[in-house]
Amino acid sequence: MTGMHVRTHLAEVDWSTLEHAYGDASDVPGWIELLTGAETAEESLHNLWAAVLHQGTLYDSTPPAMVSIASLLGARQAADAENTAWLLLMFADAVRDYEQVEVDDADTATIVRSARESLTRIAALVRPLISDAGPEAVAAALLQATTGTADSAALDTLGARANARPAEQVEQACVAALTTLGADASEALSDGDQGLVMAATLARIAAGDATTTDLDALVAGWELAVEVAPCIAFGVANLPEWLSAVNPDASAHVLAALPTPDEATIAGLVDVVIGSRRNAPAAVRRLLAFAALPEAAPETMIAALRQCPPTPEVCDSLADLAERVTAGGTSAVGSSTFDTDARADSALALLRAGDGRWARPMAQAFLTNPAARGLMVSTSASGRSALGFALVRVGAPSATMLVAGIRQALRQEPPADPSRDGAGHLAELLASWPAEAAAGALPEVRELLAVAPKHAAAALATWDDTASIDRIREASVTGDATVLLALARLTRDPGDFHRVLDADLQYRESEVLVHWADRTDPCFLDWCRSLAGTEPATADYQRQDQLTALRILAAADSSEADTGWVVLRGILDAGRGPIDKAIDLALEWRAQQLLSPEARADLESLLADLVVTDRRDYNGPTAKTSAAAAIALLDAGLPLPGPPARIVKVVTRAVADRHARGHGLMLTERLTAAAQPVRGAVAKALRSLVDRDERFDSTGDIAVEDERALERLRPILSTLETA
């Protein structure tokens, strides 16, 4: 298209009726036109990526915007052709991702269909670029393959360029596109050009091929494949990781055959473990073999094995590797750095596995690492948290050697950057243990009042350390609510408790609700009424506090349930945030007969509606809401509403959802006593989830959590199938 035609296309679309991530899409035409300017292209590309393809999301403005962008690129009017082509490839990748998951929203399904149809137009618009050189020509060739089927003009253009010599990156992309489309590329391959042959091999593997001939060729030509791969597919920054994503079967075979355990190969094997249940055992065996090599870097292997299902062999290797670590290190995320210790990572993995050997490497990290006070520990493939916080979350038990190690860590000089000081979380960990187990650390925790007053004061209050009252009172002059509350907990003086209410309680409300001593105190109850309010709060944490306040008020005066029902019902109906806690409170009031007959009937009707009608947030339907409501109905002796197909959807969606899996499993357990039609339909759907190769998504380490979920789900499923 010429520039005039591009502008005509932009003018033909009523952009004001379309939306992107930030609302009305009327600004899209201006951004697209700015792609022609050398000084404006970069900002325009960023705006388009952020708005019409935000984090890979498709909007109704996305397909027409991408067609217009392709028109501009194909007319060679884009000032930054490479990154403009990259944006189109990102779009094609997003369309493929959408098509690989179930879309049950009609509007989204319409957008996906429109996006798929637009890929054919985009491929035709950028086709002239295939005769050029450079990354945009490579992208244009690859975009031909995104259509799924290509017309004769596309095949002729790809074939002609594939036969050009000398064969380089564009020719490799053309061969890959022809191969992906199932077209004949034999003419281009007839002279045996190694790069083109490898391009065809990689394209076949990417399409699912796992023949021994191709896999052996990939192993033998691995170094060449590393060079060719970025030319035959979008976003190949690391060949092992890409291979694991597109073809786990091939990846497991190839990576296991590579002789050198470099970091990229190890990362690729971990990706196989994370992405494929079927291929994980072979990948784990290879990782264990690498870990046993004398030259293996223990830190690298611990980072890999801690993400693997915790078999006895994996745990043995983690324990052995930890003994080979003698010092900590540092890692960086962006411009931030933090202190690490592979022994702590190994210990946390062993602890999660229930392996008693965890305490030794953890204590060694505390005792020998000069930065132990600020250690961060791995909690997922890419996430870390303060060591003390992570140990509290998994319920780490106390041990004499750990207390000694933590005491030594707390005596270290704090980091120059206060944000890297994990002393407060270590105090929180100590406070999670019985006072007698952590008694030796009292001096160190008291000293922390000067630098981490909130955590230290809370710990001392938990241990009922009345000897620290004067020191905590001194620390409370700053007016910090947590410190004031700790003082009140120790003195048990009503005046001290009342002074807490005069402090800034934002984000501290839950602490006060938990630790207030006299729950009949009129001042406290008035404050609870202000928290409960008259309608659901906006933030989820505030709704949690509302529920706690409502429970306290009704316990003090049963008539408070009448006025509180309006707020509680609103939280239930929205289906957001602490929905399970809201349902628990509603059932509690129901059992205590605090609800009027009308409210009781309303509750039962509302629970049924929560099961059959999706509540949504910005991510889509909230899986936990329907599952929690179904559990509540069954526990209350009430029937489940809707046909078996709806119950199947509620169960499978919750089991597959990382935030709702616990409720999905609980609901599945209760359905073992359901009627046969429901039981059979649920069993069939769950069997497909258990037998599939893809793992469940998770909030932490995918393979570890997936295996844990399967371990719990399999016996329940067996009962469903045999009952």
Is it the case that residue 5 has pLDDT exceeding 70?
no
pLDDT of residue 419: 86
pLDDT of residue 7: 63
Distance CA 412, CA 700 (A): 30
Residue 608: Cβ within 10 Å count: 18
How large is the average pLDDT for residues 397-420?
94
Is it the case that residue 204 has pLDDT exceeding 50?
yes
C-alpha distances in Å from residue 342, one per residue of 298, 322, 583: 8, 7, 42
**Alpha carbon of residue 721 to chain centroid:** 32
Q: How many helices and strands in the chain, by DSSP H and E? A: 41, 8
Report residue 710's pLDDT band, with 50, 70 and 90 as the boundaries. very high
Cβ contacts of 635-638, under 8 Å, gap ≥ 24: 635/587, 635/670, 636/587, 636/590, 636/604, 636/607, 638/604, 638/607, 638/608
For 303-331, what is each residue's pLDDT tens digit? 999 999 999 999 999 999 999 999 999 98
pLDDT of residue 8: 59
**Residue 371 in 3-state DSSP?**
coil
319's tokens = 């324990």
689 in Cβ contact with 648 (< 8 Å): no
pLDDT of residue 717: 96
Is it the case that residue 657 has pLDDT exceeding 80?
yes
498's tokens = 């009342």
Distance CA 431, CA 197 (A): 63
**Residue 332 in 3-state DSSP?**
strand
Structure letter (DSSP) for residue 375? B
**Residue 438 in 3-state DSSP?**
helix
How large is the average pLDDT for residues 287-301?
96
C-alpha triplet 474, 475, 477: angle, nearest 5°:
75
Distance CA 287, CA 129 (A): 44
More confident residue, 558 or 335: 558
How large is the average pLDDT for residues 625-629?
98
Distance CA 418, CA 675 (A): 59
Is it the case that residue 190 has pLDDT exceeding 70?
yes
Is it the case that residue 336 has pLDDT exceeding 90?
no
- Which residues make Cβ contacts (< 8 Å) with residue 299, sequence separation at least 6? 325, 329, 342
Distance CA 50, CA 31 (A): 12
511's tokens = 């602490």
Report residue 259's pLDDT band, with 50, 70 and 90 as the boundaries. confident
Strand pairing class (329-333; 336-340): antiparallel
Is it the case that residue 418 has pLDDT exceeding 70?
yes
More confident residue, 111 or 382: 111
Residue for token digits 């959590």? Answer: 705
392 in Cβ contact with 425 (< 8 Å): yes
Is it the case that residue 6 has pLDDT exceeding 70?
no
Report residue 3's pLDDT band, with 50, 70 and 90 as the boundaries. low
Distance CA 105, CA 374 (A): 46
Distance CA 297, CA 157 (A): 49
Is it the case that residue 9 has pLDDT exceeding 80?
no
pLDDT of residue 4: 53
Residue 311: Cβ within 10 Å count: 15
More confident residue, 3 or 357: 357
Query: b vs e for 490-509, b when ≥16 Cβ sit within 10 Å of the residue's Cβ?
Result: bbeeeebbebbbebebeebb
Between helices 623-635 and 579-591, what is the axis angle to 10°?
Answer: 20
246 in Cβ contact with 205 (< 8 Å): yes
In terms of DSSP H, where are the helices of 235-341?
239-246, 248-257, 263-275, 280-292, 298-305, 312-323
Residue 690: Cβ within 10 Å count: 13
In terms of DSSP H, where are the helices of 100-146?
106-126, 135-145
155 in Cβ contact with 141 (< 8 Å): no
How large is the average pLDDT for residues 169-173?
98
Is it the case that residue 279 has pLDDT exceeding 90?
yes
Q: Mean pLDDT over all residues of the chain?
A: 95
Q: Give kind and range of the element (H or E) at residue 617.
A: strand 616-617
pTM of the model: 0.88
pLDDT of residue 1: 47
Is it the case that residue 671 has pLDDT exceeding 60?
yes
Report residue 45: phi and psi, to 5°.
-60, -40
589's tokens = 């009031």
How large is the average pLDDT for residues 631-641?
95
Query: b vs e for 545-555, b when ≥16 Cβ sit within 10 Å of the residue's Cβ?
Result: bbbbbbbbbbe
Cβ contacts of 149-152, under 8 Å, gap ≥ 24: 149/181, 150/123, 150/177, 150/181, 150/183
What residue ranges do the domains of the chain occupy? Answer: 238-325, 327-463, 518-595, 622-723
In terms of DSSP H, where are the helices of 27-61?
28-33, 41-52
- Which residues make Cβ contacts (< 8 Å) with residue 325, sequence separation at least 6? 298, 299, 302, 341, 342, 343, 346, 361
**Sign of the dihedral defined by the CA atoms of residues 543, 549, 552, 553, in that order:** negative
Cβ contacts of 613-618, under 8 Å, gap ≥ 24: 615/574, 615/575, 615/576, 617/576
